[in-house]
Amino acid sequence: EIVLTQSPGTLSLSPGERATLSCRASQSVSSSYLAWYQQKPGQAPRLLIYGASSRATGIPDRFSGSGSGTDFTLTISRLEPEDFAVYYCQLAITFGQGTRLEIK
């Protein structure tokens, strides 16, 4: 069973800054199966990135994904107030534990 480990657990940044979130798999995986989600309080997760680097429909281009093998990254180039949320990576039926992005 592949385990996904996200880091950091909590990231404190200010609007306008760049956010870099990490997702590490316990073994090498196909990037085609790596996705990222955003979840705000009281809402369902929203698909942001699939195939490690493809933006889902309607997702702003400040969100980008990259990586291969065991290491994957979600980058938010310039944080907007609405970007502060919890972010999850997903591979097949496994989710990471999440990174909370909070306002500094």
Partner 1 sequence: QVQLQESGPGLVKPSQTLSLTCTVSGGSISSGGYYWSWIRQHPGKGLEWIGYIYYSGSTYYNPSLKSRVTISVDTSKNQFSLKLSSVTAADTAVYYCARERTTVTHWFDPWGQGTLVTVSS
Question: Which spans of this chain sit near partner 1 (rule: CB under 8 A)?
Answer: 32-33, 35, 37, 43-47, 50-51, 54, 56, 88, 90-98
DSSP calls for 56-74: PTT--TTEEEEEEEEEEEE
The answer to whether residues 18 and 76 touch, using CB atoms and an 8 Å cutoff, is yes
Minimal distance in Å, beta carbon 14 to partner 1?
Answer: 25
Q: How far apart are CA 101 and CA 104, in angstroms?
A: 9
Nearer to partner 1, 15 or 54 (CB): 54
Nearer to partner 1, 76 or 89 (CB): 89
